[in-house]
Amino acid sequence: MSKDPVKRLNAHNSGKVRSTKAKRPFEIVLHEEFEDIKSARNREKYYKTGFGKKVWMKKINIGLGFPARSRPAGGLAGNP
- What is the arithmetic mean of pLDDT over 6-12? 93
pLDDT attached to residue 11: 94
Band (pLDDT 50/70/90 cuts) for residue 76 is very low
Domain extents for the chain? Answer: 5-70
pLDDT attached to residue 10: 94
pLDDT attached to residue 1: 85
Considering only residues 60 and 10, tell me which one the structure prediction assigns the higher pLDDT: 10
AA letter at 59: K
Instruction: Calculate the CA dihedral of residues 61, 53, 7, 69 and round it to 10 degrees.
Output: -50
Band (pLDDT 50/70/90 cuts) for residue 62 is low
